[in-house]
Structure 1
Amino acid sequence: MVEYLVLGVAAFSAGLVDAVVGGGGLIQIPVIFSVFQGTAPATLLGTNKLASIFGTAAAAVNYARRVRIAWSTAAPASVSALVFAFLGAYTVTRIPADFMRGLLPVVLIAVAAYTFWKKDLGSVHAPLHSGVREQVWAVIIGAAIGFYDGFFGPGTGSFLVFLFVRFFGFDFLAASAVAKVVNVACNFAALVWFGYSGHLIWQLGLMMAVCQVCGSILGTKLALKHGSGFVRRLFLVVVTILIFKSGYDAFLK
């Protein structure tokens, strides 16, 4: 009972953070692994994805009610991410992802530095692309992040937010809304794989899903209330934590 309470609180917190800037896995995954130490990692990851897809979907729906989602970007990026997430999951069964552990903190430092120094980055919503050009960029980014999510995964939501701000000219709020839609596709691809292979604890995953949805509703309300400036600040906090966490995993663990 205590274990479920701890995981419920972790799922709520993860849903809140993930709804704003991504990175909810920073909270939820370490907790579920520490509580169920004797359970197969694949089963825990599958259960985490079951909870996460509900939280991310709830955030996407709530954003759609209040923010104009750029579906001309979100739709092709989601389809591309769905396909390449499967490909990434298949590839990781053939090629070890260990080299990504050393590369991830370096990439995150670059993302944080760029966002910090570009004070006006993501403050104004000024889309850079339209028509076929927009769709091509969406497919490219969806493919890259989808493959990354299937192959390795940490920080997927935060990377999506940054890329939609940097390469599409979205403000942080609009970028977060589109990122949630694409993230649902990534989570769905992984969930299908875990479900097919039997790596799911349904009761636990659904309990955590309810908590994630509650957290994501609060997180979405905070983002909508406080705007892009709030999202940018939280983005930098989450990316900084990701840098330390990924650096520890890569070089000290």
Structure 2
Amino acid sequence: MIDFSAFSFADLIPFILIGFAAQLVDGAMGMAFGTIASTMLISIGVPPAVASARVHAVEVFTTGVSGISHIIHRNLDWRLFARIVIPGVIGGVLGAYVLTEVPADTARPIVLGYLAAIGLYLLWRGIHHEHEEKKPKIIEPLGLAGGFLDAAGGGGWGAIVTSNLLVQGANPRKVIGTVNTAEFFLTVTISATFLATLGWEAVGAATVGLLIGGILAAPLGAYLAKRVPPNPLMIMVGIVLTATSIYGIWRAL
């Protein structure tokens, strides 16, 4: 279990700020909590599997609060939710198991390169075109891939699933709310898998700060997702996705 006597509030402040910023972006744009938080933890020397375990332990609570907030603001498409959550959970279990057994460093630059390309496309589309709503056709395979890469890479569920659904023409507000809510069930499953393979020691005290900041930001992020129009929202998603992906590629190389 976590030893709460081993750290002070001053030690938590940086992680509270990271958690708040990451969840504000995630709740408003449907992505980036795992990417931002995992990148910061790995940059201070935390092993990738441990960083992913800590982030997903925090996301159990932040995605729960975020999901409730999105439901209150009616940001959900329940049919889409049903189609992505089960494949996402299956992919998450597989990804968590793979990460604890095999390093994911080789695949990560490739995935990040793909996400950077999607981010640039969304940015271009948001600037030059009005968003035309269409029913997305590729959903279940997207959930499976998103869940797997989220667990194996320490983040990426929102970046992969949200961005691809937007490319297919789905409503940005509904996509963000639905993907955020489905992420709760994904993170519960991934966290349980990590705890079963790594033990409670992998959670660590730093997760407390991420948890406090994330929970504080979750309701505000859902509110912003409801208020921001589709095209500016798509532009912001493109900027965040491109920036985080390019930074991740730079670190990986």
Query: TM-score when scaled to structure 1?
Result: 0.82
Residue 18 (structure 2) aligns with: 10
SS at match of 1:211: helix
Partners of 1:19 and 1:85 in 2: CA distance: 20
1:84 counterpart = 2:85: no
Deviations 1:98-144 (A, max 9, x none): 33133123212320232133347783444356xxxxxxx43222112
SS at match of 1:47: helix
Q: Output the amino acid matched with 2:215.
A: V
The answer to whether the Cα contact below 8 Å between 2:49 and 2:100 also exists between their aligned partners in 1 is no
The answer to whether the Cα contact below 8 Å between 2:119 and 2:238 also exists between their aligned partners in 1 is yes
* Structure 2 counterpart of 1:104, from 80, 105, 111: 111
Residue 140 (structure 1) aligns with: 141
Q: How is 1:41-52 mapped onto 2 (pairs within 5 angstroms)?
A: 42-52=49-59
Deviations 1:206-225 (A, max 9, x none): 45323201112112222222
Gaps of 5+ in 2: 1-7
* Structure 2 counterpart of 1:27, from 14, 36, 60: 36
The answer to whether the Cα contact below 8 Å between 2:16 and 2:209 also exists between their aligned partners in 1 is yes
- The structural deviation recorded for 1:147 is 1.6
- The alignment's C-alpha RMSD in Å is 2.6
Partners of 1:116 and 1:222 in 2: CA distance: 19
- The structural deviation recorded for 1:182 is 2.6
- The structural deviation recorded for 1:246 is 2.0
Identity among equivalent pairs (%) = 18
Residues 192 and 156 (structure 1), Cα distance of their counterparts in 2 relative to 1, 3 Å cut: same
Residue 180 (structure 1) aligns with: 180
Moved more, 139-148 or 196-205: 196-205
Q: Output the amino acid matched with 1:16.
A: L
- The structural deviation recorded for 1:145 is 1.1
Moved more, 50-59 or 201-210: 201-210
1:61 counterpart = 2:61: no
Moved more, 158-167 or 77-86: 158-167
Residues 122 and 106 (structure 1), Cα distance of their counterparts in 2 relative to 1, 3 Å cut: farther
1:191 counterpart = 2:209: no
Partners of 2:122 and 2:48 in 1: CA distance: 34
- The structural deviation recorded for 1:8 is 0.9
Moved more, 58-67 or 226-235: 226-235
Residues 234 and 12 (structure 1), Cα distance of their counterparts in 2 relative to 1, 3 Å cut: same
Residue 151 (structure 1) aligns with: 152
Deviations 1:71-110 (A, max 9, x none): 1121231111111211122233444423313312321232
Residues 69 and 149 (structure 1), Cα distance of their counterparts in 2 relative to 1, 3 Å cut: same
Partners of 2:72 and 2:228 in 1: CA distance: 16
Residue 73 (structure 1) aligns with: 80
SS at match of 2:88: helix
Residue 225 (structure 2) aligns with: 223
Residues 68 and 93 (structure 1), Cα distance of their counterparts in 2 relative to 1, 3 Å cut: closer
Gaps of 5+ in 1: 130-136
Aligned pairs, number: 241
